[in-house]
Amino acid sequence: MSGDDFEAQLSAYIDGELAAGPAEAVATHLRGCAACARAHERLLAVREALQASLPPLRAPEHLRMDLRRALRTAATTTVVRSMPDWRWLAAAAVLVAILVPATWSVATRRAAGQFLTGELLASHVRSLMGTHLTDVASSDQHTVKPWFNGKLDYSPPVSDFAGRGYPLLGGRLDYLAGRAVAVLVYGRRQHVINVFLWPAGGGPSGGSHAVTRQGYHMRHWTTSEYEYWVVSDLGEAELGEFAQLLSQADSAARPHASP
Amino acid sequence: MEPSQLARFEAATLPHLDAAYTLARHLTLNQHDADDVVQEAFLRALKYFGGYRGGDARAWLLAIVRNTSRSWLRRERGDAGVVEFDEALHSEAIDDQHPEAEVLRAVDRERVREAVDQLPLEFREVIVLRELQGLSYKEIGEISGIPVGTVMSRLSRARRRLEGALGAGKGGLP
């Protein structure tokens, strides 16, 4: 065995990286060879010197904090692009420091929105599956509206659109977005439309926006008083028409409401 | 990215932050550069986390830290340490004397640190991973992207070189 090879073996030997056979051979050789025994000693001495002089380092606290902040920023802005130049990243970090509060709130609002539409959809599907489509089955708005009294801390406007082909089927209570909400149920031929409404949180009123999830269509809008979500498997056009009727009825019910 | 994904990433990697910092610190030889390299490496790791299929998170992370350090050195310093490492050539420069073990043990810490800092990057890398972080040859091979046999010869040469540097001028035996 050449000297170089034996040195490498010896080095692996002190690391415990040799298989049993070769390790045994090295040990045997060391017992009989003073020069190699000294080489072995020197290797151990170098190791000792290294370990005494170079303790493993601890990451500075500021790095730990900077890092977590940077990770959170990167995760919320979902950077999916090739690794940018560090200077670009530094510039981006400055921008991000300015924009993050806004981005973060948009991202969380979006996440919350997705969660809500999931809940709405689940409620809609549940209402079709079992026997719990309505708590009060009536096509009479004067029966349905008072039924909610005492069950909710608000009295939702209820209208029947049978004349327009969207008969009121009834109403029920559901639990959504952390509160009890009123659900009005309408029919359109064999389709069912669930209307979820609860008092608006005081945010700005907003026009209708449409969402499609798993083949179901949803419409959402906010009036000065109520947040409306409409869910159905009805075609988008008809659901839009229905949403229009509902929102007209809502403003008609509040003649003194500000525009 | 989902918040739960970030939490999973942090749980897998943050326990190895000190190891990442230790490696970056010894490869860049500068505290501020090490900070920057670690941050860049973690951001890269986050980006690649989708491709991480479990297993040894420390080795996975350290490989990214190692590669980030090298591209950092090349970019920021046009560093010669990263260019063309010739194992045999680098090994020849060894002062071919054999100091006594007692001499080696008595070398003061500052000189040991200097000797390590002056090792070629490739040698320093395996020394740090082995002696400071206690990684196996297999793990070192994964991190440095070299076969286990190369880990073995490289470590041996790095030690031989340190031995020469520490014993120099200390009256070791010829």
Q: Are A54 and B113 a contacting pair at CB < 8 A?
A: yes
Report the pLDDT value the prediction gives residue B173, as an integer from 0 to 100: 42
Which of B49, B81, B113 is where one domain is finished? Answer: B81
What's the ipTM? Answer: 0.85
pTM for this model (two decimals): 0.56
**Shortest CA distance from B45: residue in chain A:** A71
- Laid out side by side, the sheet with A191-199 consists of A136-137, A168-176, A179-188, A191-199, A226-232, A216-222, A206-213
Contact A232, A166 (CB under 8 A): no
Q: Which of residues 29-48 of A touch B (CB under 8 A)?
A: 38-39, 41-48
Model pLDDT, residue A258: 44
Residue A93: per-residue pLDDT: 67
Question: What is the domain extent for residue B37?
Answer: 3-81
State the pLDDT at residue A200: 85
* B113 close contact with A: CB closer than 8 A: yes
Nearest-neighbour CA in chain A from B165: distance (Å):
11
Sequence-separated (6 or more) residues with CB below 8 Å from residue A238: A188
Are A75 and B163 a contacting pair at CB < 8 A? Answer: no
Q: Give the closest-approach CA distance of A88 to chain B in angstroms.
A: 12
| Confidence at residue A191, expressed as pLDDT on a 0 to 100 scale | 85
The answer to whether B170 contacts chain A (CB < 8 Å) is no
pLDDT for residue A28 is more than 90: yes
CB atoms within 10 A of CB A166: 22
Taking the Cβ of residue B18 and every Cβ of chain A, the question of whether any pair is shorter than 8 Å is answered with: yes
Position A83 scores a pLDDT of: 45
With CB atoms and an 8 Å threshold, state whether B10 touches A71: yes
Identify which has the larger pLDDT, A98 or A181: A181
User: B9 vs chain A: nearest CA distance in angstroms?
Assistant: 10
Q: pLDDT digit string (tens) for A6-25?
A: 889 999 999 999 999 999 99
- The CATH code for residues A109-252 is 3.30.200.100
pLDDT of residue A253: 77
- B40/B96 same-domain check: no
Of A160-164, B76-80, B127-131, which has the strongest mean pLDDT?
A: B127-131
pLDDT of residue A131: 60
- Do A46 and B104 lie within an 8 Å CB cutoff? yes
**CATH number reported for the structural domain that contains residue B108 in this entry:** 1.10.10.10
Number of structural domains chain B divides into: 2
Tell me whether residue B153 is in a domain: yes
User: Which residues in chain B touch residue A7, judged by CB atoms under 8 angstroms apart?
Assistant: 156, 160
**B48 plus B109 within the same structural domain:** no
Q: Say yes or no: B91 and B53 in one domain.
A: no
B44 plus B109 within the same structural domain = no
Q: Does residue A98 surpass a pLDDT of 70?
A: no
B63 and B110 assigned to the same domain: no
Could B101 and A58 be called an inter-chain contact, meaning their C-beta atoms sit closer than 8 Å? no
On whether any CB of chain B is under 8 Å from the CB of A78, the answer is yes
Residue A132 Cα to chain centre, angstroms: 29
Answer yes or no: is B172 within a domain: no
pLDDT in tens, B133-161: 999 999 999 999 999 999 999 999 999 99
CB burial of residue B16 (10 Å; 0-12, 13-18, 19+): buried
A212 touches chain B (CB under 8 A): no
Q: What is the pLDDT of residue B174?
A: 40
Is B107 inside a domain boundary?
yes
What value does the mean pLDDT of chain B take?
Answer: 85
Pick the last residue of a domain from B53, B81, B109: B81
What CATH number does residue B66 fall under? 1.10.1740.10
Interface of A with B in 127-186 (CB under 8 A): none
- C-alpha to C-alpha distances, A129 to A125, A197, A231, A236, nearest whole angstrom: 6, 21, 15, 22
Same domain, B73 and B90: no
Q: Which amino acid, residue B122?
A: E
**DSSP assigned state of A139:** S
Please tell me whether residues B104 and B151 are part of one structural domain: yes
- The dihedral over CA atoms of B37, B42, B48, B49, expressed in degrees to the nearest 10, equals 160
Q: B75 and B96: one domain?
A: no
Measured between alpha carbons, how far is A83 from A209 in angstroms, rounded to an integer?
A: 36
Instruction: Give a yes or no: residue B130 inside a domain.
Output: yes
The per-residue pLDDT for range A202-229, each reduced to its tens digit, is 666 777 788 888 778 899 988 888 899 9
Residues B74 and B57 reside in one and the same domain: yes
**B174 found inside a domain:** no
The residue ranges of every structural domain in chain A are: 3-53, 109-252
Q: Is a pLDDT exceeding 90 seen at residue B83?
A: no
Predicted local confidence at residue A214, as pLDDT: 78
Say if the Cβ atoms of B17 and A67 lie within 8 Å: yes
The whole-number pLDDT of residue A79 equals 44
User: pLDDT-derived band of residue A82, with 50, 70 and 90 as boundaries?
Assistant: very low
Evaluate whether residue B134 is within a structural domain.
yes
In a domain, B121, yes or no: yes
Section B66-92 average pLDDT: 72
Q: What pLDDT score was predicted for residue B93?
A: 45
